[in-house]
Amino acid sequence: MRQLKVGLAAALAATMAVAGCGSPSSNNGSNGGGDAKGIETQQSALDPTAKGPAAEVPGAKKGGVITVYSQLTPNTFDPTDTYYADALAIEKLIFRSPTQFAIRNGKPVLVPDLTDLGTVSADKLTWTFKMQSGIKYADGSEVKVEDLAYAIKRSFAHDVYANGPTYQLANFKDGDKYKGPYTSGDDFAGVETPDATTLVIHLARPFADLPLYMTFPVFTPIPKAKDTKENYKNNPLATGPYQFDTYTPGTELKLKKNPNWDPNTDAVRHQYPDGFTFKWGGEDPKTQQQVLNSAGEDANALNYGPVDASLIPQLTGDKKAQLVQGEQPCTYSVQMDTRKIPLEIRKAIAKAYPYDQVNKAAGLNSFNSQPASTILPPSVPGYTKYDVLPGLSGVGQGDPAAAKADLEAAGKVGFELSWYYDNTKPIPQQTNQIRVDAFKAAGFTVKPIGVTTAELRSKIADYDAPVNMGQAPQGWCSDWPSGGSWFPVLFQSHSITDGTSWGQLTDKALDAKIDEIGNLPADQAVAKWGELDKEILGQYVALPRYYGKLAFAIGTNIGGAEGDASAGEPFYLNMFLKN
């Protein structure tokens, strides 16, 4: 699966063409240093006993409307077709799902939502979820377990909802055959509803992370009779605390209270404001400045785009409280094709890479990034703070002399490195020249290939193209807080065919190890993912550059603002207006 994560700063987007969303937490330690045995491994968290109502936010008040600005526009609000981070965050206000993430002390905690957290059979191929009763849609009708089953079936109509997540296609029983209710009808072996409160999911293979995946809006209930197919996105049926009021695609969405949302059934959400108004299209620096000035209604506003670098000098003194910071569950890297570049050459590339110069030219700073030295970012359970591998620290000016010595020892002076870059914009042109100069000084022959912005994504996505570095995805973001949404997608042999490979590895032993860890219960897999992180990075499949960070501006009257640690976006569910 490949999606560009909305919410990256423009400067970053100019240098990093594609970030995978394998989707959208909080830092538990700096990169680098640490114990190679991984004593600092972030643990996953779940609370199967959580019940509504959600704990009150200190100082929260009711009333008023919060305005939310962004230059970038969500592509859809159909829950089946949603995979972009900004829409995922907004839809938590509108849709409830079987499970959900609460944010506690900055960390994501998996809790029950429409159902419990599920129980799995001994053979790991059947999951049973028990549904809460008495939950209603915004129109007052009852949410039925059959609606959950129908929504799951709807997600297999990937010809209609091409942008939605696809883990169910690979993991659910007969997922490779069933094409959704419009084409294949309602009979699907992967889902059954034996009674009014039970949802059963049958798998083709063990999928320990299923309860985490079921936080996605693709699992929100949809009554079959209310499915308007392609038009559903214009006025979807709400189960959360807010529903559509008015919607102008690409420009504005106004949400109003859902009178049939029951807080006593919801362990995560609140309904403090009377509504939210999302406005898209205005330039981020301009609307961010409005938010910081907080004149009139802009005191009740926020902008969810990364704060523009030009505004950072203002974020001191009283305005420091108007910057909300957090983590994005993303790591950005430079790929090296292991099929074309031998290991000793990959190590020399790492020694020569001019991290500091490239990062400065790209506009990276402590507000929007943190130097990376691992595959998993600090926000994802399984992240392990191990000893930094030579040349893979995400910092430094490069050591061309040491890299050239390695090439000479290997008899590979003049080895050609090639990559695509955007030759139509100044920042990628500048960062390209920095790489060219550094690699030439280290004894490499370089062949950068300039292409247009429009061509770049398709070019770097072609693993048969005449390049050996910089292919897509040039970054990856968690779909849920687990290594299970990283290693099987990026490093198994099928990743090459899927177009989601880091390093283009084909290793049956590694495939088996990833499957073995993936089949463990989620809490047992956490440390194993951390160990595998170092093992794979030790093969120098990529140069980790930086972990994404969240930084957005809020008006002076906004309370309860924090980052959504599961998505790297604002967590709207706790927000309120102070006055």
Predicted structure pTM score? 0.83
What is the distance between the alpha carbons of residues 540 and 66, in angstroms, rounded to a whole number? 46
Least confident among 23-37, 119-133, 364-378, 472-486: 23-37
Is residue 465 one of the residues assigned to a domain?
yes
Q: Which domain holds residue 397?
A: 10-27+326-549
Is residue 365 one of the residues assigned to a domain?
yes
CB neighbourhood size of 219 (10 A): 27
What is the mean predicted confidence (pLDDT) over 92-110?
A: 95
407 Cβ contact list (under 8 Å, min separation 6): 345, 348, 413, 414, 415, 442, 443, 444
pLDDT value of residue 159: 92
Structural domains of the chain, count: 1
Is residue 207 one of the residues assigned to a domain?
no
Which residue pairs from 453-462 have beta carbons closer than 8 angstroms and sit at least 24 positions apart in sequence?
Answer: 453/422, 453/424, 453/425, 456/17, 456/420, 456/421, 456/422, 457/17, 457/18, 459/420, 460/17, 460/18, 460/420, 461/2, 461/18, 461/499
Give residue-wise pLDDT tens across range 189-248: 999 999 999 999 999 999 989 999 999 999 999 999 999 999 999 999 999 999 999 999
pLDDT band at 44 (very low <50, low <70, confident <90, very high): low
Is residue 314 one of the residues assigned to a domain?
no
Is residue 105 one of the residues assigned to a domain?
no
Distance of CA 553 to the CA centre of its chain: 20
- The H or E element containing residue 545 is strand 542-554
Above 80 in pLDDT, residue 13? Answer: no
Q: Give me the CATH number covering residue 404.
A: 3.10.105.10
pLDDT value of residue 366: 86
More confident call, 96 vs 427: 96
pLDDT value of residue 48: 96
pLDDT value of residue 38: 31
Is residue 443 one of the residues assigned to a domain?
yes
pLDDT value of residue 388: 86
Is residue 292 one of the residues assigned to a domain?
no
Percent of the chain at pLDDT > 70 equals 92
Mean pLDDT of the chain: 90
Is residue 452 one of the residues assigned to a domain?
yes
What is the mean predicted confidence (pLDDT) over 109-114?
A: 96
Give residue-wise pLDDT tens across range 457-499: 889 989 999 999 999 999 898 998 889 999 998 999 989 988 8
What is the mean predicted confidence (pLDDT) over 257-282?
A: 97
